[in-house]
Structure 1
Amino acid sequence: MTSEAITVLGLGNLGRALAETFLRADRAVTVWNRSAAKAEGLAATVAGTAADAVAASGLVVVAMLDHQAAQQVLTGVDVRGKALVNLTSGTPGDARELAGWAAANGAEYLHGAVYAVPQTIGTDASSIIYSGSAVVHEQWQKSLAELGKVTFLGDDAGRASGYDVAILSGMYGLLGGFLHATALARANGIEAGELTPMLLSWLTDLQPALTMFAGEIDGGSYAGGESSLAMNQSGLATLIRAAEAQGVPFAGLDAFKALVDRQVAEGRGEESLARAVESF
């Protein structure tokens, strides 16, 4: 083992991209995967077991399917003195649980959330947020930067996942809204390609509103009311009725209106739409 050697556990799409990126940077890379065939074509050392792979390097990057798989792979492995960087998707609680396990077993733990598709790992289009061990972040920052832009969020191992689940929720809300928008458009003979430029323009114009809402939420003051709950309650009711009439109802709209309805029922109708966050 050399202190600069790197191990990658898991060779799915992300794990293989990580290994390839480290190899392009002339790192000594050891890889392990349940199916050794996944390592074909990689100019890396292929370990026979996860324990052998971990023993080979100072930095161990974990990229498994899910938290349970990461736990199973690491259980029983000697990780003393290792820097564990876990890029496996999971919840904040998952990250904190594994950080606790690492500490109890003599390892430093850093959790990361990847904002890139595998093809862009190692390019300017890739960014990864991390939280957990500042020691790992500082010692291995150069190596981590080879994967993409590095942002360190502090010593709470769950913080990166906290950002991640919030960002992904926003993403899926946007994607669900987009797909419903295209279904509504098609019901009126409008192609998705025709709709999308106008939708993108409108969504871009909404950016200042999101910044304003964020300030209201953080400040706990919703008195502005430029986009009031009552006004949006009415707008949502019309939109839901239109979607149902055209045969493309969307439960997401009903759920959003239920949040607004709750606040209006409490006498908050003239306050900002941002107050709907309190319904959660």
Structure 2
Amino acid sequence: MNQIRTTRTQGARVTVVGLGPMGRAMANAYLDAGHEVTVWNRSTGKDDELVARGARRAAGIAEAVAASPLTVLSLIDVEAMYGTLGDTGLDGRVLVNLSSDVPEKARAAARWAEARGAAYLTGGVNVPPAGIGQEGSSIFISGPREVYEEHRAALDLLAATDYRGADPGHAQLYYQLNMILFWTAYTGWYQAVAVARANGLTAADILPYAGYTADTMRGFYTGGAPLIDADEHGGEHERLAMCAASVEHVLHTAADSGVDTGILAAHAALYRRGVEAGFGADSSSRLIRLLGNEATTA
């Protein structure tokens, strides 16, 4: 992953379209760097603070795109881009779409933009708005390398860019892989808090232990990845049958506490399937076979 560049060229022109919390953070980062920033949002009022800081308010989307060679989009998804840009002329413009969506929609969006004469980069932002412009923040970027290199300095002002290749869908693929890890972990935190509260504890009571568990996960990923890639699933260190028993204990603890068990029940069912498939003596990494398309071809 690259580091955020500290050399910031003043006077470059950039347009930011979409002024939710993330878009406003991006526009502020460009203003901090001395860029000439044009902003536009479908609903009014979200640009007042930015305009007060020196941003230029475009009268419409066509004016916003025409104002700068580079337009950064921060919208809810790709469909919002189509609705926002409409028939706006894009010939010779560069669009960097930092909106979350699925890889195939990112590829379709790139084809749509290129058919209208624009260069197109896809991005996946790995931090909340407060992380924009901060060290340690990163953004996945994919699309034509020459376009990325030309505008890399401007993008690095937002967060360190991690270029993932020419395929415009790859930035979103890497981003969504991160989101799989993030949302399942976050939901696990909520589930743990629900069980804790049902037993008279608070989120603060279990926070130190939750933090410890989160920190230890890096070790599991680091140790397991090379074995998974080598298709080695021996049960020398942990066996799926033992893991399945532990998951059952988790499920029944939640049930005994009177909280919702839907997520944990699905989790336990997966581990049972692994044991029933004959993988009980193997590592729990065998579950990847059940979760992936290998399950349909085995």
Q: Structure 1's 116 and 207: CA in aligned 2 closer, same or farther, altered over 3 A?
A: closer
Identify the range of structure 1 (72-81 vs 52-61) with the bigger mean alpha-carbon deviation: 72-81
In the alignment, which residue of structure 1 is the partner of 2:31?
A: 23
Contact 1:116 1:125 in 2 (8 A): no
Are the aligned partners of 1:112 and 1:161 in contact in 2 as well (CA < 8 Å)?
yes
Kindly state the Cα deviation for residue 209 of structure 1 after the two structures are TM-superposed.
1.7
Instruction: Tell me the TM-score normalised to structure 1 length.
Output: 0.93
Distance 1:16 1:205, change over 3 A: closer
- Cα distance in 2, alignment partners of residues 115 and 181 from structure 1: 25
In the TM superposition, what are the counterparts of 1:89-108 in structure 2 within 5 Å?
A: 89-108=100-119
Give structure 1 regions of 4+ aligned residues with deviation exceeding 3 angstroms: none
Q: Which residue of 2 aligns with 1:198?
A: 209
Amino acid corresponding to residue 176 of structure 2 in structure 1: V
**Is 2:278 aligned against 1:270?**
no
Q: Specify the alignment match of 2:222 in structure 1.
A: 211
Distance 2:245 2:222 in 1: 23
Deviation at 1:74, TM superposition (A): 2.2
Task: Please say if 1:117 is aligned against 2:131.
Answer: no
How do residues 238-253 of structure 1 correspond to structure 2 at under 5 angstroms?
A: 238-253=249-264
2:95 equivalent to 1:79 = no
Paired with 1:35 and 1:202, the residues of 2 have a C-alpha distance of 43
Select which of 233, 242, 245 maps to 1:231. 242
Distance in 1 separating the partners of 2:185 and 2:136: 21
Deviations 1:113-166 (CA, angstroms, capped at 9, x unpaired) = 112222331121432111112122100111111111111111111111111111
Report what 2:149 is aligned to: 138
Partners of 2:215 and 2:251 lie apart in 1 by 24
Question: Could you tell me which amino acid in structure 2 is paired with residue 40 of structure 1?
Answer: D
Aligned length: 278
Sequence identity percentage: 36
Find out whether 1:11 has 2:22 as its counterpart.
Answer: no
Q: Which secondary structure does the structure 2 equivalent of 1:38 belong to?
A: coil
What is the distance in 2 between the residues matched to 1:26 and 1:203? Answer: 39
User: 8 Å contact 2:95–2:121 — kept in the other structure?
Assistant: yes
Q: 1:215 Cα deviation (Å)?
A: 2.4
1:32-47 superposed matches below 5 A? 32-42=40-50, 43-47=54-58
Q: TM-score, normalised by structure 2?
A: 0.88
